[in-house]
Structure 1
């Protein structure tokens, strides 16, 4: 009997980890992409493993991956895989443990199954639409409501530049993680109150984390408050703001649109 979508993604994430970890300590053959972001032999090898495993299991699904040439044919598919083989490639190159495999399936623009896996931290986040989110098989939920001034938020320093905000820049505790998928997942498990990024965000970085967050009880939107839709012709969204509802709302109210 064929695996359901979430089981398929989970199995694929573990296969991706087996491939990626074989490159640790070896020659990564780092090159630069046209946007100056790095890509390694591990990124490409993981992408090949995932493409073979997922597309053979669901040949009628479209394909959108950071490390594959985009094919507009995906726009005609009801379902589409949205994949980041290694999210946090710079972290991977540096020998750190905060990189992740990010795997999602969109159906008509909505994410229906998602996995974010950090193999070196033994953290596997997953979500099935309407069935909640989990970390290593145990249910997770967002942090209890708090005010923005008391919040601990994942974001980068440039997002606190005054030109992004009405009036004074909010005063909250700030942290950062290199993997955007991991940032989203940390908020979903309640380790942080919110996260936001104001730059245009690639779908493969955020698709899996967006469902994990919403199924954990968070609000997730672009930086204007609009709902996120996926498998767009140009696969970017207008930033991301996510967190427990009260903090999410305060962040949005302070931002310049």
Structure 2
């Protein structure tokens, strides 16, 4: 039986997905947020409004951190906090592609304790809670261990710039998906070996996927190998490395230290 928070997130994600699908491939109004923050659409805002009503209505004492809501310091004092990306992969959504997700998580203290990543157009739902296995539509997830050389890595081209590595850039097979949350789930599922970002990552992009990957058996850390912490004041991590333990260690050893420079990764 799913924990209460996980059941609530699953319900919310499925309802949010139906709202998103009503706008998908219907030329929704969209605009650029400015400052390198990427696009947003009327669909993102509609999904966000529904999630806030449902989730905060059910858990009024929880904090709230969402890509599409104004942030405030009151969440930092909350014992629990929702961390939400209403549509992760907005560019894919606007282009009519299926690779967008609804990413929902609960942080207890600085750790994620419940997580759902739902892909409405593909009818896929990944989920996990602390202490329980990660699941895809009820089936337990297992990652695929691999040596660094030849590993399939979900990452953007900027992560393979030689200056970011201690030696030569490893000969990995790079692929990309617009939704960062989905990338972490694909690693948890074993369809790819690792996910990497050498740019700062917003918490709402990685909160849910990081727990799903961890409960599948991966290690999810920042670029320096340090554990991820959530509901932080800056709502951002210093890069991201997600992989099974052996490959994760190889990647951390091969990467240079995070500089904190560059625009945040976003979808």
Larger mean Cα displacement after TM superposition, 5-14 or 168-177 = 168-177
Q: How far did 1:155 drift? A: 1.0
TM-score by length of 1: 0.97
Aligned to 1:48: 49
Map of 1:62-141 to 2, 5 A cutoff? 62-141=63-142
> Is residue 25–residue 94 contact of structure 2 (8 Å, CA) maintained in 1?
no
> Is residue 154–residue 176 contact of structure 2 (8 Å, CA) maintained in 1?
yes
Aligned to 1:22: 22
Structure 1 CA distance for aligned equivalents of residues 225 and 54 of structure 2? 36
After superposition, the C-alpha distances for 1:191-249 in whole angstroms (9 at most, x for unaligned) are: 11111001000000000001001000001100000000000001000010010111111
Structure 2 CA distance for aligned equivalents of residues 67 and 146 of structure 1? 37
Work out the number of aligned pairs and report it. Answer: 254
Structure 2 CA distance for aligned equivalents of residues 25 and 171 of structure 1? 37
Aligned to 1:227: 227
Larger mean Cα displacement after TM superposition, 101-110 or 21-30 = 21-30
Q: How far did 1:28 drift? A: 1.2
Structure 2 CA distance for aligned equivalents of residues 58 and 156 of structure 1? 36
SS at match of 1:196: strand
Structure 2 CA distance for aligned equivalents of residues 15 and 244 of structure 1? 32
Aligned to 2:191: 191
SS at match of 2:23: coil
Larger mean Cα displacement after TM superposition, 5-14 or 33-42 = 33-42
Structure 1 CA distance for aligned equivalents of residues 239 and 229 of structure 2? 12
Structure 2 CA distance for aligned equivalents of residues 25 and 130 of structure 1? 38
Gaps of 5+ in 2: 258-267
SS at match of 1:246: helix
Gaps of 5+ in 1: none
Structure 2 CA distance for aligned equivalents of residues 248 and 65 of structure 1? 29
Map of 1:214-253 to 2, 5 A cutoff? 214-253=214-253
> Is residue 27–residue 94 contact of structure 2 (8 Å, CA) maintained in 1?
no
After superposition, the C-alpha distances for 1:153-202 in whole angstroms (9 at most, x for unaligned) are: 11111111100011211011111111100100000011111110010000
Structure 2 CA distance for aligned equivalents of residues 64 and 24 of structure 1? 24
Cα-Cα RMSD: 0.9
